[in-house]
Amino acid sequence: MNDILNGLYQLWITTGLYGFIHEEKGWGMAVMILVGFLLLYLAIKKGFEPLLLIPIGMGCILSNIPYAYIAGVDPTSTHAAAGFIKILYDAGIETGLFPILIFMGVGSMTDFGPLIANPKTLLLGAAAQLGIFTALLGALCLSFIPGINFDLAVAGSIGIIGGADGPTAIYVTSRLAPAYLGSIAVAAYSYMALVPVIQPPIMKMLTTEKERKIRMSQLRPVSKVEKIIFPLMVITICALLLPSAAPLIGALMFGNLAKQCGVIGRLADTMENALMNIVTICLGLSVGSKMAADRFLNLETLGILFLGMIAFGIGTAGGVLLAKLMNKLDPKHPINPLIGAAGVSAVPMAARVASKVGQEADSQNFLLMHAMGPNVAGVIGSAVAAGTLLAVVPGMLQSLQPLLG
């Protein structure tokens, strides 16, 4: 009888219910599992970035099940042999491989034709990166609040949320501040998913109805030769000026070249479909596994979410305001300021939002192709910003180390 009772007791202390009650962070694990369910709800019911939020939500749930480290779910666990999520995390996130492969797939799905046809929209993509550096400074200011300790590396990782580019945020954070990967990745992808909610009020606040009705001239046709030369030119410029951005920009341009050259259709199709889908699954699960309660439920996470919102809003405003300034400087070739908001690199959602807001003012005003110019420019801009941070921040930290003791 004692053996039976002892066996039942041993079974009881290995259950998740026991863990929720007796583990130090048991209540936090329960909260984070509810957060995981919330992400699944937003993805399934509301349609917010389901391809990403569903794997992230499931990873969050798995990583907060008490004693799940026995199966190696928690990527930081040393209690047992590596489980499947730890293997995925080590292979794809810690090495930075998954974001690079994502960029390759994005490149194969992207048409740079609108940007080539109207090169000045590249400036709108650059202006939308203003939120990155604003959030960086904001993070350094928040570090004066007790309970928040953001150094320059963490501030740079938080700032990249403003580019509305999840893979870039993951890549930079995995290099500069891996301990904050869960919070930053969730903030980046959450705000990407909320583009249709966040951007329209900002766009309408900064523009008049007359400006929203501006019709832009039809884009010129772009030849196949131009589309082949463009990625090669971008890679060359990157190699000369910012080698630290080469992994992201190189993967993006390689994917695009594979699509545009027309002689390796099978490879381009693989990048765009099979590879992209596989990596998205692995990346989402790996990122979600970093949402463990002991690393996520703290004041710093709230600061990251707040700064991410500010960065995203300022990035949106920066693109719109620069478009208005360009109209002042060149009134003969007006730009609808709404397409400036597409400079954040949430492709193609931000371009669709710009088009939708424009059609609310004028149902016959079709801005989608015009908005794709700054939209794809934003992808390049976020990669350049990431390369700049990766090149500058480590050196600055090393220089400041003697001063900080």
Encode pLDDT of 31-61 as tens digits. 999 999 998 998 899 887 788 889 989 988 9
Between CA 340 and CA 212, with CA 328 as vertex, the angle to 5 degrees is 45
Residue 207's H or E segment, with its range, is none
Closest C-alpha among 312, 386, 394 to residue 349: 312
Which tokens in the block code for residue 381?
């801009």
Q: What is the DSSP string of 210-276?
A: HHHTPPPPPPPP--HHHHHHHHHHHHHHHHHH-GGGHHHHHHHHHHHHHHHHSS-HHHHHHIIIIIH
pLDDT for the residue numbered 404: 47
pLDDT for the residue numbered 81: 56
Q: Any idea of the CA torsion for 351, 115, 163, 316, to the nearest 10 degrees?
A: -50
- Given a contact cutoff of 8 angstroms between Cβ atoms, the answer to whether 383 and 129 are in contact is no
Which tokens in the block code for residue 330?
């060149």
Q: How far apart are CA 158 and CA 146, in angstroms?
A: 18
Which tokens in the block code for residue 358?
């424009």
User: Phi-psi category of 287—alpha, beta or left, where left has phi over 0 and alpha has psi -120 to 50?
Assistant: alpha
- Given a contact cutoff of 8 angstroms between Cβ atoms, the answer to whether 319 and 199 are in contact is no
Segments in the chain below pLDDT 50? 70, 77-80, 404-405
- Given a contact cutoff of 8 angstroms between Cβ atoms, the answer to whether 287 and 186 are in contact is yes
User: Phi-psi category of 77—alpha, beta or left, where left has phi over 0 and alpha has psi -120 to 50?
Assistant: beta
Q: What is the DSSP string of 270-322?
A: HIIIIIHHHHHHHHHHHHHTT--HHHHSSHHHHHHHHHHHHHHHHHHHHHHHH
State which amino acid sits at residue 31: V
Closest C-alpha among 383, 87, 340, 66 to residue 248: 383
Could you tell me the pTM of the whole model? 0.88
Closest C-alpha among 244, 211, 206 to residue 385: 244
Encode pLDDT of 321-355 as tens digits. 999 999 999 888 899 999 999 998 778 888 999 99
